[in-house]
Structure 1
């Protein structure tokens, strides 16, 4: 499992959260059982407090939940939404293209 992406965890210090889920029960003082969708049935449903983030309720905020298409090894493919800017920088004779992408 060392090289497999789980829940969009791309690398060190860049966590990705996959959506708001209901807390079913408190298992320990530091562990909670969540109600996960059927697509995540292969994932254990008890999480440590450090893996969770508090949801601040806002009436104007509508959560647009898109279910992730997970592979058998719990990895998924990220697709860019829109290209915001393109730029080509030249250093001596080498040209490097920079593209700013909205995910």
Structure 2
């Protein structure tokens, strides 16, 4: 398995997410419109941005953990059972810590 390929993808995604989170934070810092209708729309937008920010932060943590596994030499192995994570699964979700079987068990249970 080409770990360098995944490391490059993870670092690029981390950079993209950090930029997106910076833009979200910048949007929250902008002055709000005094008009009631516009404020209601801004509140709705803030809720969406907040949700996106939380998802981005969770993904950043998962990416950080995956980069730590690369550094430790354990990337590509399930953190739960030790089995090899398939290349197809890593291509889809390069920061996944679980093989397909363990992920399925965790989702079901």
Q: Could you state the TM-score of these two structures normalised by the residue count of structure 1?
A: 0.21
The structure, 1 or 2, with the larger RCO (C-alpha pairs under 8 Å, 6+ apart) is 2
In terms of fraction of residues, the more strand-rich structure is 1
Q: Could you state the TM-score of these two structures normalised by the residue count of structure 2?
A: 0.20
